[in-house]
Amino acid sequence: MDILETDAYDKRQRRNLSCALFLSLLPFFLSAALYFYLWTPDSPASIMSAVVKSAPILLLAAVVLSWNGGQSVLGVVGGLLFSAVGDCCLIWPEHFLHGMGAFAVAHVLYTFTFLSSRYATFSSSSWLRLLYLILFLCGGGFYIYLYPFLQKAPDSDVIIPAVGVYVFLIILMGILAVRTRNTATVLGGLSFIVSDISLSLQLFKVIAPMKHGNALVMVTYYLAQLLIAVGDVKAVENKDGFSKWKRS
Which of 61, 69, 68 has its CA nearest to residue 25? 61
Question: What's the chain's Rg over C-alpha atoms?
Answer: 19
Which of 21, 50, 57 has its CA nearest to residue 226? 57
Q: Cβ neighbours of residue 80 under 8 Å, at least 6 residues apart?
A: 57, 58, 60, 61, 64, 106, 225, 229
Give the dihedral of Cα atoms 45, 51, 54, 60; nearest 10 deg: -170
Q: Where are the domains of the chain?
A: 3-247
Which pLDDT value is given to residue 4?
A: 46
Please give the DSSP secondary-structure letter assigned to residue 2. -
Which pLDDT value is given to residue 246?
A: 38
Which pLDDT value is given to residue 240?
A: 56
CA distance 70 to 73: 5
Please give the DSSP secondary-structure letter assigned to residue 125. P
Which pLDDT value is given to residue 50?
A: 94
Which pLDDT value is given to residue 168?
A: 97
Per residue of the chain (248 residues), what is the pLDDT tens digit? 455 445 554 555 667 788 888 899 999 999 999 999 998 877 788 999 999 999 999 999 999 999 888 788 889 999 999 999 999 999 999 999 999 999 999 999 999 999 988 887 666 678 888 889 999 999 999 999 999 999 998 889 999 999 999 999 999 999 999 999 899 999 999 999 999 999 999 999 999 878 888 999 999 999 999 999 999 998 876 665 434 433 44
Which pLDDT value is given to residue 11?
A: 56
Which pLDDT value is given to residue 121?
A: 65
Residue 29's H or E segment, with its range, is: helix 3-38
Give the dihedral of Cα atoms 72, 73, 76, 77; nearest 10 deg: 120
Farthest-apart Cα atoms in the chain, separation = 69
